[in-house]
Structure formats: C-alpha cells, structure tokens
Structure 1
Amino acid sequence: MASLFGNGGYSFSSGSEGEDEDEGTEGYRKGGYHAARPGDRFAGGRFVAQRKLGWGNFSTVWLAYDTLESRFVALKIQKSARDYAHAARHEIELLSAATKADPTNSKCVVRLLDHFKHAGPNGQHVCLVTEFLGDSLLRLIRYNRCKGIGLSRVKEICRSVLVGLDYLHNELGIIHTDLKPENVLLVSTINPAKDPVRSGFTPILDRPVGNQYGGAVISFSEKMLKMRARRAVAKISQRRVSLGGVAAEVDEERNLDGISLKCKIVDFGNACWADQQLAGEIQTRQYRAPEDHLAQMMETLGKMPRKMATSGTRSKDYFDRYGDLKRIKRLKFWPLDRILVERFDFTEPDAKGFTDFLQPILDFTPENRPSAMQCLKHPWLN
C-alpha cells in the first residue's frame, strides 16, 4: 500500500489494496515502526492486534479488537521519533475536535475513539484508535476496472464528501489539504471477507507462542479483560444474526453489486486549522488547485483572466503582459463538456449537467468558487 499513503499519511482501510507490498524491515529500528504481531495487546490489554491493514511513511495500521466495547477498530501505531510523535499529537487534536462536535456521527468524517502511548523496543509510540472502515475510492475505481460507476453513484459519493468538507470548513475551521480518492473510505468493505463482522472472523485474544516480547507475563487486569472479551466473542454470533434485522436499511444505501457507497473523509496527517500559517507545498500534485498545470487547465477551462495571470510574484516567468503563456503558443482548447462527450461517452444532457456542477468549482478566481454548502444545493445533485 506504499503508493496510497503519499506524504506520510495512512488509511484506516480493509487492507485490500497493494497487499503484495509491505514496508520492509529497514524502518523497524530505534525511532521507527513498532514490530506488532497478531495477539499483541495495547492500552493495558484493552486493544488486541489482529492483522495489519496497511502502512505509511509515518505509521502502520492494524485491525484490532476492543475488548472493552466488544468491537473491531483500526489501530494506527506511529513511528517513535520525536517528529512523528509531534505529527500524531497534531492529528489527534484535529480528529478529537471533529469527533467531539459530531455526536450523531453524521458528518462523514472518520471518528477518533481513543489514543494513548505504547512503549516498545524501538521507543514510545503514539497510537490512535478509530472506527474500522472499508476500502478507499481508489480501490473502488480499480475494483470496477476504471470503467466508471455511474452518475447516480458518483452523486452519492459527492454528497458524502461535500457534507464532510462543509463540516470541516464551516463548523470547525479545518482544512484537510490532501483530499484524494485514497483518503475517502467507504464505510464498509467491497469484499465481505475483508470485514471481520460480515466474514464471521473470531477475534484473536491470545499472543502467539514465541512473540517478540518473549512471552511477557499478562497482568491480572489483562486477564480480566481477556475473560470479558471471550464472553463478548460469544455475543458476536448473536449480533450477526441481528444484522438481518437492519438489512433492509443497509440495502437502501447499497449499489454496485451490494456495495455501500456511503463514505468518510480520513487521513488528517497533513490537515491544519484554517487560520494557521502553512509552510511548504500541500496537496498531492495531481489534485492541486487550478494554479498548477496552467496549460492543461487553460485548454479545458479557457484563458486565465489577465489580471490573475499577471499579478503573481512569478507571473513574468510564465505569462506575457497580455496574460498569454510565454512558452506554449498554440493551446488546443477542449472544453469540459466536449471532453465528457467525446472521451467518456456522456450523453449531451448528462455532460451539460455535470459541467454546470463542476465548472464553477474549477474557476480560476478562488473567490468565485462555490463553497461545499453551495455545491450541495446545486440542481445537479438534487
């Protein structure tokens, strides 16, 4: 999953992407990753590691079982060096604010359930516990062989993302800075076998023989948690039976061969407060705002307003005094609605409707771009 984590972020997902890749052994040293194994216990025995879901430059992410609440969760274990710990604390601050202000869990942002420090051979690691979610939108795209999923499904996903962005921007004053398909997760897995509840997975409660801690003695409190967890496991089968009672409600949200398209925004490793001074570049290059990739943007959206083109500190490097690109004289204009029809086989009405929705979002002038709330009210979505 190395390619999915970008600039040190992580994804609380089902681990179905890039399963043939791993982080290697080089990062497992002082200041680096924690060498977790299935059955390892965290937070005084409350959370038990089950299997690794993924990894990033800053952390590994594990499926874990919460013995106190009898549920599966995602456990992110940060590298132990000071810079990584600082980044984790910043992320905890942002996620805590987002979770606290959303008691009904309706704002389409991943929920932080707990956080703590864990001491291991490579140092002290900050750990974050969130709800267990499914696959990323990138995985969904690949699952459907990049053939598209249909406009109605795209609209459903757009609503979730815009609800999350509106919540972050207007209610919390948080900017995500790294929104992309990898950082939007479905609430459930594409493959039921990857979901520990739907697949009937029985939680691992004991450490395997010969783990890296040499069979450390389990404390009395851990034994109590283990007993409680075993009783909870017995209840899981009953809970699976009860899932049938909510099947009708779940099915209302499911499309694409029974896959739920409800989703949440994740990975706040690069997020910041709106009033915070940012340093350096943000956002993955392919997803940056229109001020990048100038020629391609102008070919699709039309000529950039002269005032904007000539007012930047480096405008003279790229534009002449008329607002034309210096080094690219013959732009091949291909408007967005024509691209949708000629390249992606949209019908004329569908192309017009989608263009009406999308074009204002891509306006060269930032002040002219609609807010997430304004997008939610657009006729194309309604």
Structure 2
Amino acid sequence: PARLCTSLNGRRYKILRKLGEGVSSSTWLAYNKKGEERYMYLAAKILTIDATHRHNAGKLRELEFLTEIEACNFLSLLRDHFIEQRPMGKHICLVQDLYSTSVSSLRRSPSKTLLPQMVRNVFSILVDALAQLHAMHIAHIDVKLDNLMFGNSLYYSDKDLQQYLDANPAEIEGQAQLEPGGESYLILKFQPIPNGYVYDTSAFEAELIFI
C-alpha cells in the first residue's frame, strides 16, 4: 500500500523512500507529521496481505511481542501500529525507530569477515538483547546478521537527516503494474540510511557501535 509521497494512518505519515524489503514485509522511511523532535522520521514496516492474515490467525506474533517491549536496551520499540485498507486487502503497519543498514552489509569486506573488535561488540549487544527478550518469555526464532540493524548514528537530529534526504532523493528503478491494463506505479530502489561503520572499523569506534 506504500508508494512515494503517499500517506498512511489518516495522513499522519508520509512515505519518503523505500528502506528495504523481505518475504513478508517492506520497510519505508516515513515522515511523522505529528512527531516530536528526533521522532519526525520513523520506519514504517508494512506487512503483506498474507502476513497480515497469518497475524490475525495467530500464526505470526510479531505485533503481539512488540507491544510487550517497553524501554529496553538494544530492542526496537513500537511507536505506532495500525491497519491500512487497500483494494487487494488489509495490511498491518508497524512504526518503529529509524535504523541504518544491517550488520550483514559489512560482510562485503575483501575477506568476507569482520575484525575481532567488531564481532565482540556485536555479540555483546546481541546477547544482552536476547537476555531481555527471554526475561519477557519471548524467544526470537530468526536471529541472523540481516536482522541486526545498526542505529542511525550519522544523522542524529531531524535537521541533519533532512539535509541528507534533500541531497539524496528517492531513486526510481522502473515502473510496474499489478495487473494488465491496471494502474502503473513506480518501483523504488532500496535506500537504507547509511552509517559510519566499515568492516575494518577501529577498536575505539567499535566500542561505540549500537544496534
């Protein structure tokens, strides 16, 4: 249901670009028209119609678990959630804080590996986050590097992020139609917010990583 410059949740959120996509959802950068400082830009995760059906049937429980997580270290908070009705069906939308790329993106190093200081800090954060989930009787069943996201550390303020977005607008890859003769829509390139980390980040900088 998301397209460039369209609105969600009664025009509260405006879609600015596509951050990424998975099998059961896509994630978009959204401008929060009612947001406070540092919460003007958020990530809107929009589930597919099938994933929404599975949530409603109790087969998926992501929304249920997210509503149980409050202020915790290294765990993404649910800022808002709602249903978007579209001609093809309903979509659950989960609004969370804006993150950057995944830890997996750093595996593009020449050796396809990370230095010990990076691995040590990432694992420390991961174990801390999992321990907090387990304390709430929640088991994460899809722990992998693709699901470990770096925090948005380069553009901490809304002003800095706005300047970056102005200098790097949404990029279009092409057009498509949902059905022959139907309405066409733009296919957007994945454009996650960058971070300052590289595969050979120094030991000092590695200690400052948050995911």
For normalisation by structure 1, the TM-score amounts to 0.40
Which residue does the alignment assign to 1:161?
A: 126
Q: Which of the two has greater strand per residue?
A: 2
The 8 Å contact of residues 38 and 51 in structure 1, kept in 2 or not, is answered as: yes
**3-state secondary structure, aligned to 2:99:** coil
Query: Displacement, 1:190?
Result: 8.5
Out of 183, 189, 192, the residue aligned to residue 147 of structure 2 is 183
Q: Any residues of structure 2 matched to 1:214-229 within 5 Å, and which?
A: none
Query: Displacement, 1:188?
Result: 2.9
Deviation >4 Å, runs of 4+: 84-89, 189-192, 257-260
Out of 245, 256, 261, the residue aligned to residue 201 of structure 2 is 256
Between structure 1 and structure 2, the one with the greater Rg is: 1
Q: Any residues of structure 2 matched to 1:279-290 within 5 Å, and which?
A: none
**1:90 partner amino acid:** R
Aligned partners of 2:58 and 2:41: how far apart in 1? 25
Do the aligned partners of residues 75 and 123 (structure 1) sit closer, same or farther apart at CA in structure 2, a change above 3 Å counting?
same
Which residue does the alignment assign to 1:112?
A: 78
**1:184 partner amino acid:** L
Aligned partners of 1:128 and 1:150: how far apart in 2? 34
Do the aligned partners of residues 146 and 172 (structure 1) sit closer, same or farther apart at CA in structure 2, a change above 3 Å counting?
farther
Do the aligned partners of residues 113 and 86 (structure 1) sit closer, same or farther apart at CA in structure 2, a change above 3 Å counting?
farther
Aligned partners of 1:40 and 1:59: how far apart in 2? 17
Q: Any residues of structure 2 matched to 1:290-301 within 5 Å, and which?
A: none
Aligned partners of 2:8 and 2:132: how far apart in 1? 32
Query: Displacement, 1:94?
Result: 0.3
The 8 Å contact of residues 137 and 186 in structure 1, kept in 2 or not, is answered as: yes
**2:201 partner amino acid:** L
**3-state secondary structure, aligned to 1:201:** helix
> 1:66 aligned to 2:66?
no
Query: Displacement, 1:261?
Result: 2.4
The 8 Å contact of residues 117 and 126 in structure 1, kept in 2 or not, is answered as: yes
Aligned partners of 2:66 and 2:88: how far apart in 1? 26
Q: How many percent of aligned residue pairs carry the same amino acid? A: 25
Aligned partners of 1:146 and 1:72: how far apart in 2? 35
Aligned partners of 2:145 and 2:90: how far apart in 1? 32
The 8 Å contact of residues 66 and 78 in structure 2, kept in 1 or not, is answered as: yes
Do the aligned partners of residues 65 and 181 (structure 1) sit closer, same or farther apart at CA in structure 2, a change above 3 Å counting?
same
**3-state secondary structure, aligned to 2:164:** coil
Q: Any residues of structure 2 matched to 1:270-285 within 5 Å, and which?
A: none
The 8 Å contact of residues 134 and 190 in structure 1, kept in 2 or not, is answered as: no
Do the aligned partners of residues 41 and 85 (structure 1) sit closer, same or farther apart at CA in structure 2, a change above 3 Å counting?
farther
Query: Displacement, 1:199?
Result: 5.1
Aligned partners of 2:58 and 2:101: how far apart in 1? 24
Q: Any residues of structure 2 matched to 1:42-191 within 5 Å, and which?
A: 42-70=8-36, 71-81=40-50, 82-83=53-54, 85-86=56-57, 90-98=61-69, 100=70, 102=71, 105-106=72-73, 108-142=74-108, 144-169=109-134, 171-188=135-152
After superposition, give the CA deviation of every residue in 1:322-359 in whole Å (9 maximum; x if it has no partner). xxxxxxxxxxxxxxxxxxxxxxxxxxxxxxxxxxxxxx
After superposition, give the CA deviation of every residue in 1:128-150 in whole Å (9 maximum; x if it has no partner). 111111111111222x3345332
Query: Displacement, 1:84?
Result: 5.4
Do the aligned partners of residues 134 and 189 (structure 1) sit closer, same or farther apart at CA in structure 2, a change above 3 Å counting?
farther
After superposition, give the CA deviation of every residue in 1:62-119 in whole Å (9 maximum; x if it has no partner). 1111111152111111122422554697211101112x2x2xx42x111111100111
**3-state secondary structure, aligned to 1:51:** strand
After superposition, give the CA deviation of every residue in 1:189-241 in whole Å (9 maximum; x if it has no partner). 7899xxx7175324x9xxxxxxxxx9xxxxxxxxxxxxxxxxxxxxxxxxxxx
The 8 Å contact of residues 79 and 85 in structure 1, kept in 2 or not, is answered as: no
Question: Relative CO higher for 1 or 2, CA cutoff 8 Å, sep ≥ 6?
Answer: 2
**1:179 partner amino acid:** V
Query: Displacement, 1:38?
Result: 1.3
Aligned partners of 1:127 and 1:151: how far apart in 2? 37
Higher mean C-alpha deviation, range 129-138 or range 83-92: 83-92
The 8 Å contact of residues 85 and 125 in structure 1, kept in 2 or not, is answered as: no
For normalisation by structure 2, the TM-score amounts to 0.70
